Amino acid sequence: MKKKVVIKEEIVKALKEAGLKEGMNVIVHTSLGSLGYVSGGAKTVIDALIETVGDKGTIMMPTQSWKNLDPDTGVHYEIDEKDYQLIRDTWPAYDKDLTPTNTMGAVAEMFRQYKGAMRSNHPARSITALGKNAEYLISRHDLSDIFGETSPLARLYELGGYVLLIGVGYDKNTSLHLCDERASYPSKHYVTEHSAIMEDGKRVWKAYDTLYVDGEDFKDIGEAFESEYTVNKVKLNDATIRLMSQRELVDFGVKWIEKNRK
């Protein structure tokens, strides 16, 4: 079956129907393929977002490069264990201008390169922002605080921002990781990660302690959240577009985790 062509004006219309407005600060997660055959591809989606939030708004997207982690974590599953040390010795240091995203999708990969976009300094879990509050959102992304209180997620929370899911589910909803940081639960634990970074002009394999990243129950959190809170939904071809308050989502998620995660 041939795909239906989708143009920018249709995307803008759908975004506005979902409640996205001028001046909003929003973190966006997108599946380009779910929208159909977008005329202009990823650039058209980004331009539609920019047009909708306007000059006073800010767009954020996860631009993670999680391959820049130790092979022991399983991210280099394609290689033999005997070559793990070779990865540690040779993986290129993170460069926020050059390092590509890993499985973040075509929209996020183009967004990190957009004129005026600003990318955070985390070597494995970066976030990119574009717009009025971009610098504020990404400026304090501590190495050991992947998704916590110094991260762009917490700063979006401070601004009363929003979450926009385009053709993806809650398993891709990065803001739920902030719930992990804020919740207290028995299995909560920290791990030592490693990434290649530049330090004092030299490439180093840097160790840092951070909260273990866990998202296995995010779909359950999303389902429970939608049973209690209003989430604006609009269909555009195969994509369900969801817009929600990030603050409501995070506050709910903290309580859900503390009640349900053992």
Expressed in percent and rounded to 5, the helix, strand and coil fractions of the chain are 35, 25, 40
Q: What is the pLDDT of residue 234?
A: 98
Give Cα 6 to chain centroid, integer Å: 24
Structure confidence at residue 1 (pLDDT)? 76
pLDDT of residue 171: 95
The predicted structure's pLDDT at residue 214: 81
Residue 259: strand, helix, or coil = helix
* Distance (Å, whole) CA 104 – CA 118: 17
C-alpha triplet 59, 61, 63: angle, nearest 5°: 145
**Which pLDDT belongs to residue 140?**
87
Task: Quote the tokens at residue 95.
Answer: 């460069």
CA quadruple 134, 222, 30, 245: dihedral sign: negative
Rounded Cα gap, residues 172 and 47, in angstroms: 22
Task: Using DSSP, state whether 153 is helix, strand or coil.
Answer: helix
d(CA 252, CA 256): 6
The encoded tokens of residue 157 equal 């929370």
- Residue pair 139/71 in contact by the 8 Å Cβ criterion: no
The whole-model pTM stands at 0.95
- The series of mean pLDDT values per 10 residues for the chain, 262 residues long, is 92 98 98 96 98 98 97 95 97 97 96 97 97 96 92 98 98 96 93 97 97 91 97 95 98 97 85
Rounded CA-CA distance 195/92 in Å is 9
C-alpha distances out from residue 247 to 32, 48, 157, Å: 26, 24, 6
Alpha carbon of 261 to those of 71, 96, 166, 174, 229: distances in Å?
28, 35, 27, 18, 21
| SS3 category, 53 | helix
